[in-house]
């Protein structure tokens, strides 16, 4: 018969300024997905052909590739 508990439970956890939650979260969603696509690629190991390309360059500090002359 005590209504106090109910009142407490029903109280809104966040008072205050209406902040168009739909809009905000959607904007976050865009930013999150952008970074997710980007970071996924960032964290993947580089493909072998690029690495071997770079290794060939490393062996030839003179900046010339073998087809040079």
Partner 1 sequence: MRNELVEALPMLRAFARSLSGNRDRADDLVQETVMRALANRDKFQEGTNLHAWLVTILRNQYYSEVRKRRREVEDAEGTHASRLSDIAGQPGHLELDDFLRAMRLLPDEQREALVLIGASGFSYEEAAEICGVRIGTVKSRVSRARARLEEIMNGGVTLPGGDSAEKSAHEIADAMRLRA
Residues contributing to the site for partner 1 (CB under 8 A): 22, 26-27, 29-31, 33-44, 46-47, 49-50, 53-54, 57-58, 63, 65
Q: Where are the alpha helices (DSSP H) in the chain?
A: 4-10, 21-42, 48-59
The least CB distance from residue 45 to partner 1, in Å, is 9
The answer to whether the Cα torsion of 64, 65, 66, 69 is positive or negative is negative
The least CB distance from residue 7 to partner 1, in Å, is 30
The span from the CA of 40 to the CA of 58, in Å, is 27
The residue among 4 and 40 lying less far from partner 1, judged by its C-beta, is 40
Looking up tokens 């008072």, which residue turns up? 15
The least CB distance from residue 63 to partner 1, in Å, is 7
């Amino acid at each position: 018969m005590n209504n106090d508990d109910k009142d407490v439970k029903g109280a809104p956890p966040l008072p205050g300024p209406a902040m168009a939650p739909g809009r905000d979260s959607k904007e976050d969603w865009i930013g999150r997905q952008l970074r997710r696509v980007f970071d996924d690629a960032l964290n993947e190991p580089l493909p072998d052909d690029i690495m071997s390309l770079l290794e060939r360059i490393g062996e030839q500090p003179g900046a010339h590739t073998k087809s040079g002359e």
